[in-house]
Amino acid sequence: MDAPRLSAQRPDLKDLRVLVVGCGRSGLAAARLAANQGARVLLTDNRTAEQLGAAAVEARDLGATLHFGSNPAELAEAADLIVLSPGVPQEIPLIRRARELDLPVWSEIELATRFHRGQVIAVTGSNGKSTVTTMIGAIVAACGQRCEVGGNLDRPFAELVDPEADDLLYVLELSSFQLETTLSLNADVALLLNLSPDHLDRYADMTAYADAKARLLELQDADGFTVLSADDPASRPFDARVRGKLHLFSTRGPVERGAFVREGRMILRTSAGEEDVLDLSSLRLPGEHNRANALAAGLAARLAGCSIEAIVRGLTQYRALPHRLEHVRSLGGIEFYNDSKATNPESAVCALSSFEPGRVHLILGGKEKGADWSELVSLIGRHARRVLLVGAASEFLALRLRGIIPCVACETIPAAVLAGFRGAQDGDVILLSPGCASFDQYRNFEERGEDFRQAAHALSGREAEHDA
């Protein structure tokens, strides 16, 4: 391997052997970018071509050498560079062998970073990443700036990056998995929204998970802007790891530099001075957590050069993303909300807190990830009317909630929707906010949310009358 070629900001990949591990959307985007730069690409996945389906067809169309059905360690010996998809842990034998050979192991984000020009706003955290990322994108679009939004959200960075464009602003949602093997992303604005236990089925402990998130801050230089929450106790220790210009956001009180709420209005304090932005009641999203999301997004956009007018337009016109406290329908005075993206208890806390106490029929469950349930269990006891349990975690959750609130074992989401509707009254809410991963019954949280949507839209008033 010619090491100097790979150490450059815009590496010369011509004829280098690039091994891409994982044939999901991220891996395919990385393989395409590497091939476009002249690399000889080998693409591997432990799934078979039949299991991969359309992804295998797309991989063949790239002209890459393919190895499906396993990821043997000896593949590392045929590579100059390895690009690791975020869903693939670093502990597999192939990556261990690559480390022994002293091969560079990059994330798809790192590969794209080496070829982008222009600004980057990068967003990480345990909860709210997608909402804040797309809020920022809406503001930047309202400002008239050329913008691409993606990363862990919809389109991979390697799919978005234009190596010849220096006027693009990239707004990226980044997961801890993606950041593990990202080495040189110096974001112009870096946001770490919050930190709570998650993915402890992959990380040894909370410290390892936090360290992966902190990479985003540690990769910045002194010219960058860093945005942290003043309200999240778990984020406060990150101050010591900040290398950029620190700005805070808070819904609870003023901050010296950053964004806060005064008499219901968003206030920004930056190098431009103190600016009164908008009345937060004009947001279309419910919940205190979405007020915090709007503060973070508005602050990041302002630090990136967007006008106050664009911030107002972007935020007031913004609508909830699918599966993120998304209003699905009203029927007989009962509201249905899809928050399938709530894959940990902290997200479910935010969703449940957004509604009037005693009105919520909460659909809870799925694949449990070793999280701390104490806060959500306490809130459920004070806030929910009853809980409808689904998926593999049903028995675990029934034990946690015994004696606290009535629980109904429903097994599937359509059954939970029906049971919730039959037991609801005018003014109640049927809320899917599972607090768990979806992989016990679904391919992803999107498929789970779509199942909820379809079940809600299939209802008519007759189902409620059935038990009357």
At 267-321, the pLDDT tens digits run 999 999 999 999 999 998 888 999 999 999 999 999 999 999 999 999 999 988 7
- Rounded mean pLDDT of 71-93? 95
Q: Residue 332's pLDDT band (boundaries 50, 70, 90)?
A: very high
Shared domain for 98 and 119, answered yes or no, is: no
**pLDDT of 76 above 90:** yes
**pLDDT of 361 above 70:** yes
Residue where one domain finishes, among candidates 103, 130, 155: 103
Shared domain for 97 and 171, answered yes or no, is: no
Mean pLDDT estimate for the chain: 93
Q: Is the distance from CB of 108 to CB of 28 less than 8 angstroms?
A: no
For 323: left if phi > 0, alpha if psi spans -120 to 50, otherwise beta; the answer is left
Strands 429-432 and 407-411 turn out to be unpaired
- Rounded mean pLDDT of 124-130? 92
Number of domains in the chain: 3
Q: Residue 463's pLDDT band (boundaries 50, 70, 90)?
A: low
| 1 belongs to a structural domain | no
User: What's the CA gap between 235 and 42, in Å, rounded?
Assistant: 40
Q: Cα dist. 135→74, 202, 353, 372, 374 in Å?
A: 44, 29, 21, 29, 31
Shared domain for 216 and 277, answered yes or no, is: yes
> Quick one: pLDDT at residue 467?
45
Residues 67, 116, 127, 152: which is the catalytic one?
Answer: 152
> Quick one: pLDDT at residue 468?
37
Q: What is the DSSP string of 22-55?
A: --SHHHHHHHHHHHHTT-EEEEEESS-HHHHTHH
Residue 338 annotated in active site: no
| 172 belongs to a structural domain | yes
Q: In the numeric block, which tokens belong to residue 375?
A: 């806060």
> Quick one: pLDDT at residue 461?
64
- Rounded mean pLDDT of 316-343? 92
| 418 belongs to a structural domain | yes
Query: What CATH number does the domain containing 268 carry?
Result: 3.40.1190.10
**pLDDT of 466 above 50:** no
- Rounded mean pLDDT of 204-219? 90
Shared domain for 377 and 421, answered yes or no, is: yes
Output phi, psi for 138, to 5 deg.
-65, -40
Higher per-residue confidence, 34 vs 464: 34
Query: What CATH number does the domain containing 360 carry?
Result: 3.90.190.20
Q: What residues contact residue 445 under an 8 Å CB cut-off, 6+ apart? A: 323, 340, 341, 343, 437, 438
**pLDDT of 398 above 90:** yes
**pLDDT of 385 above 70:** yes
In Å, how far from its chain's centre is CA 468? 42
User: What's the CA gap between 66 and 20, in Å, rounded?
Assistant: 10
**pLDDT of 165 above 50:** yes
- Rounded mean pLDDT of 173-191? 96
Shared domain for 75 and 199, answered yes or no, is: no
Shared domain for 215 and 255, answered yes or no, is: yes
Shared domain for 294 and 359, answered yes or no, is: no
- Rounded mean pLDDT of 73-86? 96
Residues 67, 116, 194, 199: which is the catalytic one?
Answer: 199
**pLDDT of 155 above 50:** yes
Choose among 162, 161, 176: nearest CA to 126. 176
| 30 belongs to a structural domain | yes
Q: Residue 465's pLDDT band (boundaries 50, 70, 90)?
A: low
Q: Cα dist. 209→205, 374, 439 in Å?
A: 7, 20, 20
Half-sphere exposure of 239 (CA within 13 A, CB side): 9
Residue where one domain finishes, among candidates 103, 121, 138: 103
> Quick one: pLDDT at residue 154?
83
Among 2-16, 57-71, 304-318, 393-407, the minimum mean pLDDT is found in 2-16
| 4 belongs to a structural domain | no
Residues 67, 116, 127, 129: which is the catalytic one?
Answer: 129
User: What's the CA gap between 230 and 417, in Å, rounded?
Assistant: 37
Higher per-residue confidence, 51 vs 463: 51
Query: What CATH number does the domain containing 24 carry?
Result: 3.40.50.720
Q: What residues contact residue 352 under an 8 Å CB cut-off, 6+ apart? A: 360, 362, 376, 379, 380, 383, 384, 431, 433
Q: What residues contact residue 49 under an 8 Å CB cut-off, 6+ apart? A: 56, 66, 68, 69
Shared domain for 160 and 89, answered yes or no, is: no
Q: What is the pLDDT of residues 427-440, one digit of tens each?
A: 999 999 999 999 99
Shared domain for 132 and 25, answered yes or no, is: no
| Residue 91 lies in domain | 14-103
> Quick one: pLDDT at residue 287?
86
> Quick one: pLDDT at residue 328?
95
Q: Residue 462's pLDDT band (boundaries 50, 70, 90)?
A: low
Output the pTM of the full model: 0.83
Higher per-residue confidence, 195 vs 274: 274
Shared domain for 80 and 115, answered yes or no, is: no
Half-sphere exposure of 415 (CA within 13 A, CB side): 10
Shared domain for 148 and 274, answered yes or no, is: yes
| 467 belongs to a structural domain | no
Residue where one domain finishes, among candidates 103, 133, 167: 103
> Quick one: pLDDT at residue 199?
62
| 7 belongs to a structural domain | no
Residue 152 annotated in active site: yes
Q: Residue 370's pLDDT band (boundaries 50, 70, 90)?
A: confident
| 182 belongs to a structural domain | yes
**pLDDT of 158 above 60:** yes
Shared domain for 310 and 385, answered yes or no, is: no
